[in-house]
Amino acid sequence: MHHCMEMGMDVHKVVPPPYRSTFQKLKTKFKETFFPDDPLHQFKGQTSKKKWILGAQYVFPILEWGPNYSFKLFKSDIVSGLTIASLAIPQGISYAKLANLPAIVGLYSSFVPPLLYAILGSSRDLAVGPVSIASLIMGSMLMQEVSPSKEPVLFLQLAFTSTFFAGIFQASLGFLRLGFIIDFLSKATLIGFMAGAAVIVSLQQLKSLLGIKDFTKKMALIPVLTSVFQERREWSWQTILMGCCFLALLLLSRHISMKKPKLFWVSAGAPLVSVILSTLIVFAFKANSHGISVIGELPKGLNPPSWNMLQFKGSHLVLAIKTGITTGVIALTEGIAVGRTFAAIKDYRVDGNKEMIAIGLMNIVGSSTSCYITTGSFSRSAVNHNAGAKTAVSNIVMSVAVMVTLLFLMPLFQYTPNVILGAIIVTAVAGLIDIPAAYHIWKVDKYDFIVLVCAFLGVIFISVQEGLAIAVGISVFKILLQVTRPRTVVLGNIPGTDIFRDLQHYKESTVSVPGFLIISIEAAINFANTTYLNERILRWIEEEDEGEKHSSVRYVIIDMTAVSTIDTTGITLFGDLRKAITKRGLELVLVNPLAEVMEKLQKADESNELMRPDTLYLTVGEAVASLSMSMKNQASNIYNEEMQKQQQQQEEKPNVIDSSQSE
Amino acid sequence: MHHCMEMGMDVHKVVPPPYRSTFQKLKTKFKETFFPDDPLHQFKGQTSKKKWILGAQYVFPILEWGPNYSFKLFKSDIVSGLTIASLAIPQGISYAKLANLPAIVGLYSSFVPPLLYAILGSSRDLAVGPVSIASLIMGSMLMQEVSPSKEPVLFLQLAFTSTFFAGIFQASLGFLRLGFIIDFLSKATLIGFMAGAAVIVSLQQLKSLLGIKDFTKKMALIPVLTSVFQERREWSWQTILMGCCFLALLLLSRHISMKKPKLFWVSAGAPLVSVILSTLIVFAFKANSHGISVIGELPKGLNPPSWNMLQFKGSHLVLAIKTGITTGVIALTEGIAVGRTFAAIKDYRVDGNKEMIAIGLMNIVGSSTSCYITTGSFSRSAVNHNAGAKTAVSNIVMSVAVMVTLLFLMPLFQYTPNVILGAIIVTAVAGLIDIPAAYHIWKVDKYDFIVLVCAFLGVIFISVQEGLAIAVGISVFKILLQVTRPRTVVLGNIPGTDIFRDLQHYKESTVSVPGFLIISIEAAINFANTTYLNERILRWIEEEDEGEKHSSVRYVIIDMTAVSTIDTTGITLFGDLRKAITKRGLELVLVNPLAEVMEKLQKADESNELMRPDTLYLTVGEAVASLSMSMKNQASNIYNEEMQKQQQQQEEKPNVIDSSQSE
């Protein structure tokens, strides 16, 4: 390297990162994996009293905003709370039906969980209660083993039990800081899954919309449609007429609210209005004796305790746990996505892991007070936000409204027709089919679109939970495929600069540097891609050889700027490459290994072959500049040597032949 | 940007890559995933006759080297062939016992498969036949459902059937170009797994080494040890004495060969010598009637056909398929790793997918000629290489030697004691415990070491196949964890240059640039890490804010040099970040998005917010230079504006108050 110095060129040394012990490194990695949000940050440098207060506020966010609560905020919250109550009551009853549970359980679930969330939750906009997707999944999974019509008590017990396990699972994810698990449900998966679920739910509602009594218990498209057309005799025109009218009314109100967001109360109030209207009609015309089925009598009073109904043994325990985990994950995904969406709009932050604990505790307590799985609902939270909710007090207001209903208004629902509940569900889930988002995904990333379609088709043709599993599987497979086949590109120089960029991408502005093959590896190197990278890089070299008749390449430079980590298998790549490259008479040069890679290379490379200063540079530019110069020097040296040899050969010709024979 | 131009500064434009249609992109990706070795490359530009020849040579590599085969090569091959035959015969018998199969099947399996491999295989050093690990797994998996002592015929049928499925699976992996699946067995996994298997196999041999008759059928450590000590009465001193002597002899010969590689024939010949010696001893002393169990009579003659023994229905089919896939993968891994190792030493190349087809076909044919699973053996290939093998003809020579044995020498094995087979197996598997490699992994990568330990403990305490599954699971989990928590680092400038590097790593030489926070994302962005990256980057900004009382940061620069791909969820990161950053009064600048990322950003970014030329630069250096300048200009502009405002305020003070009230 001395010649560079002579020329005044500044070559920067590649150095290993400052020493840190294994323990320190593990600690950092652990912290970054499980505490990326640094939750203890705010406690730093506080007095111990302040620390206690902050700790209490961390566990009970209500202590944070409660003291500053004002009458002005309350005025907003009462309006929004009553608005979402008008939506929550009909939806609660409907969603309970979707889960094959008694309608009253839907109302119970709209009373206790919102109260708990108001104390524990950190979102100001989340409206908590039963939601359509989780209800659907719980209903369909439990139905695999137990019939809700034949063994209603056992079914209810299992629903509470799986709600309990869902809560345990959710809270554990939060406690164990494993919240990132829900990130594995990608946007594409969710859009496909939601759309599929919406189709399935809507089809299921044909039962109540057409007034069919003997309906299939299955969830997939084909059995449902078969059931619909086989039971054509059971279709009741009164039910169909009523259903169509109210469905049109509800969809119209939804359309109005979507067009003019200020009129959000139209769609928010429509379900309750429909329930009241339809109940009056049935009552007035005694339509329940003319083929229109009604909810029937509902018990008055608040949630009865249900901890005695939790089942921790028996043959259905595995199913209850599986159902709990599946519904728990889905409920969390919805709840946290909704919380984050509105937090981003109002510019505050929702802590994912904390939310998981809040939602988990809410479901654990819920399962012993006759509530089934609940979470933050997207549609009701949007209404809550539009109605001007300021804090979680709107959930308390809603809860009180539901309480009043439970205590005094239950007899009014006796004549509410089931068909109206079907119409409410269809209207609610119609919003889950997001065609513009699907189109956007198609435009940007075809593979993501395949994931979306698989989720959609899996849900409608196989089953809700298997469709979801397939989509998650394909998403993870995509990641593994990317890891297995990382991109490598050949870099070229932008003339007149020391910038090196992808030759294919910057076709116009870059040129390849004679004598050098510069390859950039664009991913972490590990056991799954070491073999591939080895073959691929050798192929780059071969292709370069073939391009020109006599390859002028002397140096293979590997730019490692994008190689963030490496493992023990990956490290062997460089030894193997060096051997293969040296055999071809070329030299391997590494550029800019990052901290972790540098450390591991150093530890593994006992012979210090890879770490020689003349094969390790900080930038591609410096490597090229410095090596070009030594190439020139060598060329003149070789020329001199050749001359000397020729002279020697002429002097001692016989000797040369001898030595070649002895080999 | 005009001011840069004015100053003569050269800012390079970031452009999208040249247009390619979706089909072209899919084609490239497909080719890179499944045909990274470009197998059709050699056919390019050849005449059609030449193409036929090349095609035939591709399918039958023997046509490639056969025509140039010479007597000189044959001399080398015959020596090495006879050497490996002397190893293959005792090992064949021993490994068949390991798989709970009749000893003769081990010899059959050393006859047909090597012949086939000589025609189909592309490695010149691979010695083909039964191997210990695959034998162990097949034996232990099949024993889960069928007892080899009670139903020997059914057991044999299942062994052939699962060999058939192993062959089908191996050949399909090759045909479908899915060879990368075996890459998921990382080095760490294999070392731990091999060591565990060696321990289990050795413990199993205590049965024959101690002369116990009623031995446990289980494979895990605890039942085996229990069995050994419970049956202490069955221990036979004659067997133990003989076993210890020969074990010492074999281990000594192995030690000699390891110390002096030139004496490789000592360990290569030792097993056969031991078999002959021990057989003579038993025969001379009639020791078989003194408690030393012997192999007994073996049928003379070549492999009988066994296609009529393949079972494609019945209750054990699932087990046969599972066993086939597991042993198939393990056998492939060993065979291909061995092939690649020796190919690298002699500098030729082994095509993974082609080898899979060769090994697969060999097992399919093997399963119908009374052979069980075979592959390239590491120990015998090493001997083959050391003995000077030049081509696959050494396999043919070995095969002929085995044939001679089968035809004429079988009666000689009648008195071979089982204890000697145990000693041979223990010596062979002792080489699988690679403590230096394990120490190397411990030194370089702690997580890989955990994977190793899990594989080891899983194999010895749970079961061979579950230990393997656990280790693969943990390896994949590590990759997913890396994907979920990608590294982000803050870059600083090396003063006097436009080089930007990790501030933590190059602590001494870099300084942070005032006014800028430069963050490098060091991984592909996808659904699994979008949320994390969003939070992490915002935390970097907050930490920067806290560091100084009045943060001077104006620009957040994100260096995307290491972001190789992005998906639809990942793209939302930049929109969300821009919103959050703008709210803090800062600006987001992107640097050097790579080809694929650039394309997708452009497609997704309809408002063209992220693609504005003043927020997109080709290098960090240019971004900093250009933005510093506009910062200075703004500063003077702001100063000017302030001055103007103050003047205005003094002139029209009442108006200002009015306008603030109206807000």
B54-65 pLDDT per residue, tens: 888 888 888 888
Which residues 501-520 of chain A have a CB within 8 Å of chain B? 501-502, 504-509
pLDDT score of B645: 67
* Shortest CA distance from A181: residue in chain B: B528
Cβ contact A375:A75 at 8 Å: no
Confidence class for position A270, pLDDT limits 50, 70, 90: confident
Mean pLDDT over A366-384 rounds to 91
Among A506, A527, A546, pick the best mutation site for testing chain B contact (most B Cβ within 10 A): A527
Whether A164 and A105 map to the same domain: the answer is: yes
Whether B97 and B174 map to the same domain: the answer is: yes
* Shortest CA distance from B36: residue in chain A: A536
Q: At what angle do helices B393-404 and B112-120 cross, to 10 degrees?
A: 160
Instruction: Pick the range with the lowest mean pLDDT from A116-125, A163-172, A626-635, B632-641.
Output: B632-641
Cβ contact A64:A57 at 8 Å: yes
Residue found by looking up tokens 């110390």 in the block: B259
> At a CB cut-off of 8 Å and minimum separation 6, what does A221 contact?
A199, A200, A203, A460, A461
Is B44's Cβ below 8 Å from some Cβ in A?
Answer: no
Whether B394 and B510 map to the same domain: the answer is: no
Tell me phi and psi for residue A487, to 5 degrees.
Answer: -75, 140
Is A74's Cβ below 8 Å from some Cβ in B?
Answer: no
Give chain A positions within 8 Å (CB) of B529: 183
Secondary structure class of A486 (helix, strand, coil)? coil
Calpha distance A196→A182 (Å, rounded): 19
Q: Which domain holds residue A123?
A: 71-480
Mean pLDDT over B580-608 rounds to 85
More confident residue, A114 or A14: A114
For residue B499, being part of any structural domain is answered with yes
Whether A176 and A303 map to the same domain: the answer is: yes
Whether A423 and A570 map to the same domain: the answer is: no
pLDDT at B399 over 90: yes
pLDDT at A5 over 60: no
Nearest CA-CA distance, residue A412 and chain B, Å: 46
Give chain A positions within 8 Å (CB) of B600: 444-445
For residue A647, being part of any structural domain is answered with no
Instruction: Pick the range with the lowest mean pLDDT from A21-25, A128-132, B285-289, B301-305.
Output: B285-289
Give how far Cα A28 sits from Cα of A23, B54, B477, B536, Å. 9, 55, 19, 14
Whether B438 and B490 map to the same domain: the answer is: no
> At a CB cut-off of 8 Å and minimum separation 6, what does A639 contact?
none
Whether A465 and A559 map to the same domain: the answer is: no
Task: Measure CB to CB from residue B594 to each of A10, A522, A530 and give the nearest one.
Answer: A522
Task: Measure CB to CB from residue A479 to each of B18, B526, B532 and give the nearest one.
Answer: B526
Task: Measure CB to CB from residue A37 to each of B443, B489, B535 and give the nearest one.
Answer: B535
Nearest to B371 by CA among B118, B541, B135: B135
Give the tens place of pLDDT for each residue, A490-548.
Answer: 999 988 888 899 988 888 888 888 889 999 998 899 888 998 899 889 888 888 777 65
Across the interface, whether the CB atoms of A12 and B576 are under 8 A apart is answered no
Confidence class for position A367, pLDDT limits 50, 70, 90: very high
Is the backbone of residue B86 left (phi > 0), alpha (psi -120 to 50) or beta? alpha
Calpha distance A316→B457 (Å, rounded): 33
Mean pLDDT (chain A) is 84
Across the interface, whether the CB atoms of B527 and A183 are under 8 A apart is answered yes
Residue B486's CB is within 10 A of a number of other CB atoms, namely 23
Whether A564 and A551 map to the same domain: the answer is: yes
Task: Measure CB to CB from residue B502 to each of A499, A509, A595 and give the nearest one.
Answer: A595
Secondary structure class of B178 (helix, strand, coil)? coil
Calpha distance A428→A201 (Å, rounded): 10
pLDDT at B549 over 80: no
Q: Where are the beta strands (DSSP E) in A390-472?
A: none
Across the interface, whether the CB atoms of A186 and B567 are under 8 A apart is answered yes
Query: Element (H or E) spanning B488, and its range?
Result: strand B488-493
Calpha distance A522→A46 (Å, rounded): 44
Mean pLDDT over B464-468 rounds to 84
Give chain B positions within 8 Å (CB) of A440: 568, 604
Nearest to A529 by CA among A470, A575, A483, A478: A483
pLDDT at B4 over 60: no
Across the interface, whether the CB atoms of A444 and B603 are under 8 A apart is answered yes
Give chain B positions within 8 Å (CB) of A564: 482, 486-487, 522-523, 562
Nearest CA-CA distance, residue A576 and chain B, Å: 8
Mean pLDDT over B379-391 rounds to 87
For residue A6, being part of any structural domain is answered with no
Calpha distance B253→B424 (Å, rounded): 12
Q: Are strands A555-559 and A516-521 parallel, antiparallel or unpaired?
A: parallel
Give the tens place of pLDDT for each residue, A252-263.
Answer: 988 888 888 788
Which residues 618-657 of chain B have a CB within 8 Å of chain A? 618-619
pLDDT score of B112: 93
Whether A466 and A501 map to the same domain: the answer is: no
* Shortest CA distance from B38: residue in chain A: A539
User: What are B556's strand-pairing partners?
Assistant: B517, B588
Whether A306 and A420 map to the same domain: the answer is: yes
pLDDT score of B8: 42
Is B9's Cβ below 8 Å from some Cβ in A?
Answer: no
Is A477's Cβ below 8 Å from some Cβ in B?
Answer: no
pLDDT at A453 over 80: yes
Residue B148 half-sphere exposure toward CB, CA atoms < 13 A = 22
pLDDT score of B655: 42
Cβ contact A451:A189 at 8 Å: yes
> At a CB cut-off of 8 Å and minimum separation 6, what does A328 contact?
A165, A166, A167, A169, A170, A360, A363, A373
Calpha distance B104→B303 (Å, rounded): 9
Across the interface, whether the CB atoms of B568 and A444 are under 8 A apart is answered yes
Give chain A positions within 8 Å (CB) of B595: 489, 502, 504-505
pLDDT score of B659: 38
Q: Which of A459, A480, A501 is the last residue of a domain?
A: A480
Which residues 10-39 of chain A have a CB within 8 Å of chain B? 10, 12, 15, 17-18, 22, 26, 32-33, 36-38
Tell me phi and psi for residue B474, to 5 degrees.
Answer: -65, -40
Give the tens place of pLDDT for each residue, A549-562.
Answer: 556 788 999 999 99
Give chain A positions within 8 Å (CB) of B344: 576, 579-580
Cβ contact B148:B102 at 8 Å: no
* Shortest CA distance from B481: residue in chain A: A33
Whether A313 and A432 map to the same domain: the answer is: yes
Q: Which of A480, A495, A510 is the last residue of a domain?
A: A480
Calpha distance B438→A180 (Å, rounded): 32
More confident residue, B82 or B180: B82
Across the interface, whether the CB atoms of A564 and B562 are under 8 A apart is answered yes
Instruction: Pick the range with the lowest mean pLDDT from A611-620, A648-657, B347-356, B358-367.
Output: A648-657
For residue A551, being part of any structural domain is answered with yes
For residue B589, being part of any structural domain is answered with yes
* Shortest CA distance from B524: residue in chain A: A523
The domain that holds B573 is classified in CATH as 3.30.750.24
Across the interface, whether the CB atoms of B572 and A187 are under 8 A apart is answered yes
| Residue A633, both tokens | 């020097």
Give the tens place of pLDDT for each residue, B114-142.
Answer: 999 999 998 888 999 999 989 988 988 89
Give chain A positions within 8 Å (CB) of B39: none
Mean pLDDT (chain B) is 84
| Residue B214, both tokens | 């009623």
Please tell me the total count of domains within chain B.
2
Whether A385 and A497 map to the same domain: the answer is: no
Structure-derived torsion over alpha carbons of residues B221, B225, B226, B232, reported in degrees to the nearest 10: 160
Calpha distance A393→A401 (Å, rounded): 12
For residue B149, being part of any structural domain is answered with yes
Q: Which of A480, A497, A520 is the last residue of a domain?
A: A480
Give chain B positions within 8 Å (CB) of A32: 485
Across the interface, whether the CB atoms of A504 and B352 are under 8 A apart is answered no
User: What are B490's strand-pairing partners?
Assistant: B519
**Is residue B579 exposed (0-12), middle (13-18) or buried (19+ Cβ within 10 Å)?**
middle
Give chain A positions within 8 Å (CB) of B568: 186-188, 440-441, 444-445, 448
Nearest to B540 by CA among B599, B508, B483, B586: B586
Which of the listed ranges A248-257, A455-464, B42-51, B105-114 does the model predict with the highest average pLDDT? B105-114
What does the DSSP assignment read for B451-477? HHHHHHHIIIII-HHHHHHHHHHHHHH
For residue B330, being part of any structural domain is answered with yes
Across the interface, whether the CB atoms of A595 and B507 are under 8 A apart is answered no
Across the interface, whether the CB atoms of A483 and B483 are under 8 A apart is answered yes
Task: Measure CB to CB from residue A12 to each of B441, B499, B507 and give the nearest one.
Answer: B499
Amino acid at B422: G
Mean pLDDT over B550-569 rounds to 87
pLDDT at A23 over 70: yes
* Shortest CA distance from B576: residue in chain A: A344
Which residues 328-357 of chain A have a CB within 8 Å of chain B? 344, 347, 352
Give chain B positions within 8 Å (CB) of A355: none
For residue B556, being part of any structural domain is answered with yes
* Shortest CA distance from A29: residue in chain B: B485
Is A499's Cβ below 8 Å from some Cβ in B?
Answer: yes
Mean pLDDT over A50-63 rounds to 85
- Count the residues in chain A: 663
